[in-house]
């Protein structure tokens, strides 16, 4: 088994997953943090649902919705040339969907930690909503959002259930560390490589979680000090 290819695939999928879900998750997080509206609980529940669904079930639903024979899936596969099942895009989508709740929750907490009075003051002094968001809200919430993206990166690296169902085991495209280890469990000579991949996986996760903690600490500082940015 090509360990380099497996690592590269995992890193590609995890990175693409973070990039793809950054804006939607931040937007959702901001919306839920700053707005009250009828049905807010339902919306919040829907964004959190991948967290409580077994990932394999999420994968099954994705396969039904995006498989080659589905309406959406066949459009992407045939017209746009991007198959959304058993391909690397499928792995990215699976990881993104499964980790979406983590991203949204972290972003939401980050935005909720930003003092709305600061935004109010800026508005009173004539700043537009966009400028307030760009120059006050976002910079103050940024450590928290970055923390969320690290969490999502780590989660995407470890994602297995949904990926196995909708992206499958394709060497070089969707064979991530988790899928590789699972495959090696069926190989009589697989123990050595499995241990190596497990060690690498642990190492990356520890680094990611350490970064997450550090960023969370930064976020807390920014919220407590009343928003004085460094």
The answer to whether 139 contacts other proteins (rule: CB under 8 A) is no
Query: DSSP state, 175?
Result: -
Q: Which is nearer to other proteins, 45 or 185 (CB)?
A: 185
Q: Name which of 160, 183, 144 is nearest 98 in CA terms.
A: 160
Give me the torsion for CA of 139, 140, 146, 147, rounded to 10°.
170
Smaller CB separation from other proteins, 55 or 148 = 55
Q: Give 86 or 133: the residue with its C-beta nearer to other proteins.
A: 86
Q: Is residue 69 close enough to count as binding other proteins by CB under 8 A? A: yes
Give the footprint of other proteins on residues 180-209 (CB under 8 A). 183, 185-188, 190
227 touches other proteins (CB under 8 A): no
**Are 182 and 117 a contacting pair, CB within 8 Å?**
no
Number of residues that bind other proteins (CB under 8 A): 19
Residue 96 or 167 with smaller CB distance to other proteins: 167
Q: Of the candidates 67, 144, 148, 161, which one interacts with other proteins according to CB under 8 A?
A: 67
- Cα torsion through 184, 4, 100, 97, rounded to 10: -60
Residue among 170, 131, 142 nearest 26 (CA): 142
Tokens of 167: 């992206």
Chain contacts with other proteins (rule: CB under 8 A): 63, 67-69, 85-86, 168-173, 175, 183, 185-188, 190
């Amino acid at each position: 088994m090509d360990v380099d290819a497996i690592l590269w695939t995992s890193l590609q999928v995890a990175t693409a997953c973070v990039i793809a879900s950054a804006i939607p998750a931040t937007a959702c997080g901001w919306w839920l943090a700053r707005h009250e509206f009828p049905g807010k609980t339902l919306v919040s529940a829907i964004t959190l649902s991948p967290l409580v669904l077994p990932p394999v079930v999420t994968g099954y639903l994705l396969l039904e919705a995006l498989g080659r024979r589905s309406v959406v899936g066949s459009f992407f596969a045939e017209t746009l040339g991007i198959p959304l099942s058993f391909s690397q895009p499928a792995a990215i989508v699976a990881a993104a969907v499964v980790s979406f709740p983590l991203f949204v929750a972290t972003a939401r907490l980050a935005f909720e930690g930003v003092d709305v009075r600061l935004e109010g003051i800026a508005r009173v002094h004539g700043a537009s909503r966009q400028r307030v968001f760009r120059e006050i809200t976002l910079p103050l919430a940024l450590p928290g959002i970055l923390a969320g993206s690290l969490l999502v990166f780590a989660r995407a690296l470890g994602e297995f259930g949904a990926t196995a169902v909708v992206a499958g085991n394709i060497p070089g495209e969707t064979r991530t560390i988790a899928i590789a280890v699972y495959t090696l469990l069926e190989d009589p000579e697989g123990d050595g490589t499995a241990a190596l991949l497990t060690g690498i996986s642990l190492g990356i996760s520890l680094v990611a979680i350490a970064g997450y903690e550090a960023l969370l600490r930064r976020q807390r500082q920014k919220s407590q000090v009343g928003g004085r940015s460094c």
